[in-house]
Amino acid sequence: WEVLVEKASTFDITVHPLAISKKGTVHLRIGKYSAQQKLVADVGPIRFQDVRLNEGEGRIEAWLEDGDEVRAVQYVVVTRRE
């Protein structure tokens, strides 16, 4: 997803895997920021907290990897922390 960060800030980013995804690793990449978390069965959305994003255009990339299989995620929610 293409994004425009209007003001540098800290964000929480929640990745919602597809309902069929029960295991694997969720990856998140935005510019220079990159992180991953293990997906545990029936855990629900994966939250990446305190992500510092600089002002400007960028791209959010999120995907699930399980062995050799790579799957898309359903959607991502970005919330600015105040």
Q: Please report the pLDDT score of residue 56 as a whole number.
A: 93
What pLDDT is recorded for position 57?
Answer: 94
What pLDDT, on the 0 to 100 scale, is given for residue 77? 96
The pLDDT, as a whole number, for residue 23 is 80
How high is the pLDDT of residue 19? 67
pLDDT score for 43: 67
Residue 32: exposure state from Cβ atoms within 10 A (0-12, 13-18, ≥19): exposed
Which residues make Cβ contacts (< 8 Å) with residue 60, sequence separation at least 6?
1, 3, 13, 28, 29, 30, 76, 78
Residue labelled with tokens 């995804």: 21
Q: Give the tens place of pLDDT for each residue, 27-79.
A: 999 988 999 998 777 667 899 999 999 999 999 999 999 888 898 899 999 99
- Whole-number pLDDT of residue 58: 92
The string of pLDDT tens digits covering residues 13-31 is: 999 987 666 788 999 999 8
